[in-house]
Structure 1
């Protein structure tokens, strides 16, 4: 079979979406403290490494083909993708892998500064297998909420073009549960050093995410007309969300910030994800304005409720994911003059279908994450010690430092900086005397 323009575009889109994960690492790395920047970037990178292998072995197989009760596909049907050799479906398998990678990487921001890297490495493959793959199969792969699914026959067809439920709501819900399991950072809401340390990293990461999102939303486009609508909506919704976030910041806090601009862009991207091919550009502007303002408020609620969602995963991804998914019940365009959202006279059917998808996603992701997170926390533990957290997870988990300033960077030797995972930690003066290192780091933390 000759390669077509559709094949080429899908491969380009897959590369763009894969770039989103290191972009997310930069976004998260800039948002955390200097002594945890590398750890955050590594959590994104290890997600790519683990999920890349899992997806080829059994992950993709679980999202396609004949399923088990409409919930997940047979893990062995395409094990190792052996049956796809010589088929252009290999491109589709690679493209879908990048979605799974970035979805689980999103969760890591909720537990920044305090999670064991090894525990995260265990969480990633289990969560993708137990939560992500079933959701992807149920909505995209022929399962319960797909076109011919059992739930679709009862509640109607859910619209989730690029992953409002599968990616955003699932990761946001998981982030909420995991943040509760791991607990607050020491000094949360009191320590002034719990703030972003590198705003240019954040802006660069947001820019990479925005770029990659054109492949994320547009990779599955089947016509030029659909691709054009997706492209325009992916441009205008984050643009409008950025503006409304900044206005909300100005009203609430007195200043529009760079962090707010970057977060507004991401909120808009999240909101347009499920509806990029199904709403008009004018509706996309309205969606962005609502999502940006609402998420600017959502992220502040964590202090009121004592939720240490370190990097605002819940406020942005769960919040905007819910807004974007449910908004389709109101603003979805009719198809061939039929259906559509309430604003187009389509009745409540679409809103019901979207609501059912939200409920199932929250229950599956929340319940699955609770079981996985509690099991890991009970066995190997999900959180580093207070001593290691004070010294910084870059040092304690990776024996590295993101920056080399003055004495801190002079003659740095990872071998001499033992990590708290092993008995050798007792020989690490940096960990046993965190106050000295902390004093140096606080100047740029």
Structure 2
């Protein structure tokens, strides 16, 4: 579990590279910082009250946990997990912390290139407190699952989606991806479009960065999905396998869509398709078989590749397609659990529509997805508006046009002729001695001619 937590931690720097490669070279440091600093901010909140708010015993109708575990009280020395497969609670605390970090960082891609750094950190504090921690309680906090004593008993009551609605989410399709995608849509509406968009679009400054980031995300995602089994057993192996199948299928499906629609498969498309597959299989990886994983991956690649163009249709400026990939991909994976869930893979998950389970589970999945999406969108809209009005969420037009790294961080990612941050001097060229021509007698009839052969 500690190894899985470390893999999930690596996803946040991976996301920073994935996003950083797609922005301009004068805004890349701001993008990296917005992601990287989530590790510090969210970890601090998690210690103070976040874990307790997410996994403490419920205090209000399955909506939020109490403060019984604030400052991680009553966690050391206890265990969490089902009987026979319990792990130290502190390992579970660290594993779930990394989920909170990456979820918050995902939102940053929607507002890349136009965001004040300290306003972003303030928004991070508010959003994780008001949105992520309660939603994690809804989805991940199973009755009596965490903080058990030496006899395996726990009085902790969990959230309404997992315990009352009984919707399935193995590793965070709702709590992570639908949550972050809906929040991304809300915050883009608050701070507005980039100047000149969509007439002018910033070209990715470093496509290899993006492919590197996607690769690190894929690598770390094995901790995300397989680690959610909480045991190194058959279910973890199934989640690992399904993650691989769906991700590869989605990447291929995306570039096929690009070939048909645009005439060329792109590296950005292959990277984005892989991330879309990872997103979609996240809630389903522990409930479906390999065939279901293949179909989910293909569906995610096709639908997300088409969905990223919706921002031009509806006019919201989602800079790096967080809505098209994470919101749409999360919806695809969450809903298709109700179709492809197979009790032979995970008896706790039951059967979906194609395996004789009827439409009941599909309806439960739809309710869970809509509830998280609606709450996240409305709450984020309010929080982002407060931050924007009080502190100014957005940089000035001049700063946005020239790049925000120098303004926000007093740094430049690159030194060289492709950067405006330093003057560039041409290399010295040797002087060639020349003999001036003889002047003719008489008054000049025009300006004195320059010596022949002089190029300085």
TM-score (norm 2): 0.84
Measured in 1, the distance between the counterparts of 2:142 and 2:235 equals: 22
Cα gap change, 1:381 to 1:305, in 2 (>3 Å): same
Question: Aligned residue for 1:3?
Answer: none
Q: SS of 1:72's equivalent?
A: coil
Cα gap change, 1:158 to 1:308, in 2 (>3 Å): same
Decide which of 214, 217, 220 is 1:206's aligned counterpart. Answer: 214
Q: Is the 8 A contact 2:179 2:372 kept in 1?
A: yes
Cα gap change, 1:188 to 1:337, in 2 (>3 Å): closer
Q: Is the 8 A contact 1:152 1:353 kept in 2?
A: no
- Residue 303 (str. 1) matches residue 294 (str. 2): no
Deviation of 1:196 (Å): 1.1
Paired residues for 1:416-435 under 5 Å? none
Measured in 2, the distance between the counterparts of 1:201 and 1:186 equals: 25
Deviation of 1:375 (Å): 0.5
- Residue 400 (str. 1) matches residue 400 (str. 2): no
More displaced, 242-251 or 61-70? 61-70
Paired residues for 1:37-436 under 5 Å? 37-69=28-60, 70-74=62-66, 76-87=67-78, 88-142=88-142, 156-192=165-201, 194-221=202-229, 222=231, 224-334=233-343, 336=347, 339-406=350-417, 408=420, 410=422
Cα deviation 1:309-337 (Å, max 9, x = unaligned): 00000000001000000011111112549
Deviation of 1:63 (Å): 1.2
Measured in 2, the distance between the counterparts of 1:151 and 1:108 equals: 27
Q: SS of 1:92's equivalent?
A: helix
Decide which of 7, 13, 32 is 1:22's aligned counterpart. Answer: 13
Deviation of 1:400 (Å): 1.0
- Unpaired runs of 5+ residues, structure 2, are 79-87, 144-155, 425-456
Q: SS of 2:351's equivalent?
A: coil
Cα gap change, 1:82 to 1:405, in 2 (>3 Å): same
Cα gap change, 1:147 to 1:332, in 2 (>3 Å): farther
Measured in 2, the distance between the counterparts of 1:264 and 1:117 equals: 29
Cα gap change, 1:97 to 1:411, in 2 (>3 Å): farther
Question: Aligned residue for 1:416?
Answer: none
Q: Is the 8 A contact 2:123 2:383 kept in 1?
A: yes
Q: Is the 8 A contact 2:287 2:349 kept in 1?
A: no
Q: SS of 1:31's equivalent?
A: coil
Deviation of 1:338 (Å): 8.5
Deviation of 1:46 (Å): 1.2
Measured in 1, the distance between the counterparts of 2:257 and 2:241 equals: 24
More displaced, 347-356 or 268-277? 347-356
Q: State the number of aligned residues.
A: 398
Q: Is the 8 A contact 2:7 2:221 kept in 1?
A: yes
Pairwise CA RMSD of aligned residues? Answer: 1.9
Cα deviation 1:274-301 (Å, max 9, x = unaligned): 0011111111111111110111110011
Larger Rg: 2
Q: Is the 8 A contact 1:404 1:410 kept in 2?
A: yes
Q: Is the 8 A contact 1:339 1:347 kept in 2?
A: no
More displaced, 362-371 or 254-263? 362-371
Deviation of 1:82 (Å): 3.3
Q: SS of 2:27's equivalent?
A: helix
Q: Is the 8 A contact 1:65 1:142 kept in 2?
A: no
More displaced, 334-343 or 81-90? 334-343
Deviation of 1:152 (Å): 6.3
TM-score (norm 1): 0.86
Cα deviation 1:26-48 (Å, max 9, x = unaligned): 00000111111110000001111
Runs (4+) of structure 1 exceeding 2 A deviation are 82-88, 146-154, 334-339, 406-412
Deviation of 1:83 (Å): 2.5
Q: Is the 8 A contact 2:24 2:203 kept in 1?
A: yes
Question: Aligned residue for 1:429?
Answer: none
More displaced, 168-177 or 327-336? 327-336
Question: Aligned residue for 1:6?
Answer: none
Cα gap change, 1:410 to 1:321, in 2 (>3 Å): same
Structure with bigger helix share is 1
Q: Is the 8 A contact 2:65 2:158 kept in 1?
A: no
